[in-house]
Chains A and B, each alone.
Chain A
Amino acid sequence: TQLLEQSPQFLSIQEGENLTVYCNSSSVFSSLQWYRQEPGEGPVLLVTVVTGGEVKKLKRLTFQFGDARKDSSLHITAAQPGDTGLYLCAGVVYRDHNAGNMLTFGGGTRLMVKP
């Protein structure tokens, strides 16, 4: 069983602060995805990182995949109230075409950004 641990579980910060969320595993993943979920909605895919050491930026959000493809981080610069939500990482294990891909989700980080 592949497990993904996210930390911290909860984070409450003031608008304008920076933060980092971590996603760690002892298993290697083919790729790693980050989702954001708002109350009453399903998770929305933010980014997929595929290559070890890869860094992707999405406006004020920076995503990094660990060199060994076992961990990832999400860094938000100058957080805004609109960033509030549940952030989920998901490790993807690629199998063959017939078996499809398996996603394992982390427990999530609930972020609140206060104005």
Chain B
Amino acid sequence: KAGVTQTPRYLIKTRGQQVTLSCSPISGHRSVSWYQQTPGQGLQFLFEYFSETQRNKGNFPGRFSGRQFSNSRSEMNVSTLELGDSALYLCASSRTSYEQYFGPGTRLTVT
């Protein structure tokens, strides 16, 4: 069974730009969660989508948004990038949002 895939794996952007990250969950998993991981703050929950609806949301500004498609694939978007948005963005899929299976992440660097 294929695991969670994320594209791109690495990304360099400039302050003020926007970025879209993609996540393909494990087949059959309807829950997709996004996390931001930084050395200082650790792993922080961004949001969760289930059956194309945002079900839970973490404490991040509105510049961070996401969506889920009918095939459960998900995208997250960050607008007006700031230096502090540099991080590893992880996507995790689950049948029930209980035991989560993580992808390898997208390393975003904002210069």
Q: Which residues of A contact B (CB under 8 A)?
A: 33, 35, 40-45, 48, 88, 92, 94, 98-108
Chain B residues with Cβ below 8 Å from A94 are 98
Cβ-defined partner of A99 (8 Å) among B35, B56, B103 = B56
Decide: B56 and A100 in contact? CB cutoff 8 A: yes
Decide: B42 and A40 in contact? CB cutoff 8 A: no
Chain B residues with Cβ below 8 Å from A42 are 4, 90, 92, 102-105
Interface size class of B (residues with CB under 8 A): 20 to 34
Q: Give the contacts of B87-109 with A (CB-CB under 8 A).
A: 90, 92, 96-105
20 contacts between A and B (CB under 8 A): A35-B102, A41-B105, A42-B102, A42-B104, A43-B90, A43-B102, A45-B99, A45-B101, A88-B43, A94-B98, A100-B31, A100-B55, A100-B56, A100-B97, A102-B45, A102-B56, A103-B33, A103-B100, A107-B42, A108-B43
- With CB as the reference atom, state the residue of chain A lying closest to B92: A42
- Shortest distance between the CB of A56 and any CB in chain B (Å): 14
Chain B residues with Cβ below 8 Å from A102 are 45, 56
Decide: A100 and B43 in contact? CB cutoff 8 A: no
Decide: A108 and B42 in contact? CB cutoff 8 A: yes
Q: Which residues of B contact A (CB under 8 A)?
A: 4, 31, 33, 35, 42-45, 48, 50, 55-56, 90, 92, 96-105
Question: Interface residues of A: mostly helix, strand, loop or mixed?
Answer: strand
5 shortest interchain CB distances as A-B pairs: A42-B102, A100-B97, A105-B43, A107-B42, A101-B97
